[in-house]
Amino acid sequence: MRARSIGAAAAAGLALVAARDLVQKKHALLRNFPVVGHARYLLETIGPELRQYVVTSNDEERPFSRDQRSWIYASAKEENNYFGFGTDNDVEHMQGHAYIKQRTFAGTLPDLHDPQAPLPSAKVLGGPRGRAKAFRPASIVNISAMSFGSLSGPAITALNKGAALAGAMHNTGEGGLSDYHRSGGDLVLQIGTSYFGCRNDDGTFNLDKLKAVVASAPVKALEIKLSQGAKPGLGGMLPGAKVTPEIAGIRGIPVGKDCASPSRHSAFHDVDSMLDFVELLATETGLPVGIKSAVGDMGFWEELATLMARGDRGVDFVTVDGGEGGTGAAPLIFADSVSLPFRMGFSRVYAAFAERGLTDDVTFIGSGKLGLPENAAVAFALGVDMINVAREAMLSIGCIQAQKCHTDKCPTGIATQAPWLVRGVDAPSKAQRAAVYLRTLRRELLKVSGAVGVAHPSLITPADIDIMNGDYDARGLASVYGYKDGWGELGTDLAQEITALLTTGPDADRKPAAG
């Protein structure tokens, strides 16, 4: 009897759905195929998840393939991250694939298997320009800019604590410095076009507020965000419904009101005035100051390098973001077609500085899917000194690549502010995973540099990597990106200094040389 009642109720429910489908005018599919047509929308909704587990091959899916995600997950959990039975890549036909050329013999190398092995930067950040608070970053792998608001509070806490445990730095993102960023990790404070946390009521920059923020937290450097890879040259809109009292307090904006971020800065209007702004910030805070940008028109970079060649003003670091970089939300045209991919963009920026003999005076930071050993190795060979990881760090704390970041419905609670989803992030345990991932990536890079026969990833050169150029053919990295002799290499003094530091221990770094 009960079963009959349940069946009748189910039938009545389906009849109601069918009636609604037949009379609604929004979806032609449902008017023609009532009830069963809903299966199409269900499949569309869970499409990314189905592709991950059912459809795609191990090395096919984007943004991150199953193999790549598996390596990050296993690394973060301290599980076996090796792969058995050989590669499933079509190695002789993978156009654009990088091959690292190992050496038979090598000089003195550090312990390539020590899970706690330090891997500091080969350059002193701010040293060449004599900044009062210049320092050598303790990790060449750091956490990229992801704002509170874009990510949940527990996710930011996990990443910051993870950075602290791994001796890495954590970029705040342009959304301001929240309490979640104050969990022990050293910070890079990002300054975006809206100057969140250091702004006047009209949205213009306020130096005193910046200095107050810097004094309140372990801020090691300032990064002026010009653009990012996923949506360069585009401002943003934070809807009033998302401007909670907490977010309003952090960003310095009115509660419950729409906040539009302009596409460009108001504190400066060209390269010359930007350098004045950089020097103002460095003088007032003592911190190294850099810029972050995607790469499009090269006029900006050529002018920046030309002005810096005079020696009186300059940025301490340049963060180049590839067009394949990610963000919580971006128009498809920007994500797909605006700004150059990392390798192409970075090589052009590096060339602008190399032509003027400035590469040892600037710390180059790369971002855009560089949290994987192969991509990172190529970046270091092109001349990167450090890398920032964003989505890979999110994967390490539980992201499943559901690609729901723009909907506020992230199922793992990482890229959402919905309380019932956010509660899924256990910050202490996720912090451990983030730390283990960062340390594992550093160790993998140390192994790669050891295979090449050098003591540090920054000593990998373009001569150490070939790029597949079609069937059974490959070109050297220098040839692919138009590098001249010596480009992508550290100066002799820097190379000797970092080799000594890694192979003879911390006593070798008694007084790091500027630059």
Q: Higher model confidence: residue 91 or residue 196?
A: 196
pLDDT digits (tens, 9 = 90+) for 336-389: 767 789 999 999 999 999 999 999 999 999 998 999 999 999 999 999 999 999
SS3 462: helix
When pLDDT is averaged across residues 46-74 and rounded to a whole number, the result is 69
Q: What is the dihedral of CA 100, 104, 107, 113, to 10 degrees?
A: 60
What is the rounded average pLDDT for all residues in the chain?
86
Question: Six-digit token pair at 139?
Answer: 């990790």
pLDDT digits (tens, 9 = 90+) for 418-449: 888 888 888 999 999 999 999 999 999 999 99
DSSP per-residue letters across 360-393: GGSEEEEESS--SHHHHHHHHHHT-SEEEESHHH
pLDDT digits (tens, 9 = 90+) for 464-495: 999 988 777 889 999 999 999 999 999 999 99
Note the pLDDT of residue 515.
Answer: 34
Note the pLDDT of residue 238.
Answer: 66
E strands present in 327-445: 363-367, 386-389
How far, in Å, CA of 97 to CA of 473, rounded?
Answer: 11
Distances in Å between the Cα of 45 and the Cα atoms of 48, 60, 143 are: 8, 20, 30
Contact 301, 309 (CB under 8 A): no
pLDDT digits (tens, 9 = 90+) for 169-199: 999 999 899 999 999 999 999 999 999 999 9
Which pLDDT band, with edges at 50, 70 and 90, does 510 fall under?
A: very low
Closest C-alpha to 391, from 184, 196, 150, 116 = 150
pLDDT at 30 over 80: no
How far, in Å, CA of 454 to CA of 459, rounded?
Answer: 6
How far, in Å, CA of 266 to CA of 205, rounded?
Answer: 8
Gyration radius from the chain CA atoms: 25
pLDDT digits (tens, 9 = 90+) for 146-157: 888 888 999 999
Which pLDDT band, with edges at 50, 70 and 90, does 164 fall under?
A: very high
Contact 230, 327 (CB under 8 A): yes
DSSP per-residue letters across 300-312: HHHHHHHHHTTSS
SS3 137: coil
How far, in Å, CA of 78 to CA of 440, rounded?
Answer: 9
Note the pLDDT of residue 284.
Answer: 98
For residue 104, which amino acid is it?
Answer: T
Strand order in the sheet with 465-468: 98-100, 465-468, 474-476
Domain layout of the chain by residue ranges: 2-76, 100-509
pLDDT at 230 over 60: no
Note the pLDDT of residue 402.
Answer: 76
pTM: 0.86
Contact 77, 406 (CB under 8 A): no
pLDDT at 308 over 90: yes
Alpha helices by DSSP H, 110-257: 153-166, 207-215, 245-251
Which pLDDT band, with edges at 50, 70 and 90, does 7 fall under?
A: confident
Which pLDDT band, with edges at 50, 70 and 90, does 329 fall under?
A: low
Return the CATH superfamily for domain 100-509: Aldolase class I (3.20.20.70)
When pLDDT is averaged across residues 90-95 and rounded to a whole number, the result is 73
Note the pLDDT of residue 150.
Answer: 82
How far, in Å, CA of 304 to CA of 385, rounded?
Answer: 19
Q: Higher model confidence: residue 416 or residue 169?
A: 169
Question: Six-digit token pair at 262?
Answer: 């302009």
Can you give the length of the chain in residues?
Answer: 515
User: Which of 117-130 are b and which e, b meaning 16 or more Cβ less than 10 Å from the residue's Cβ?
Assistant: ebbbbbbbbbbbbe
Contact 348, 321 (CB under 8 A): no
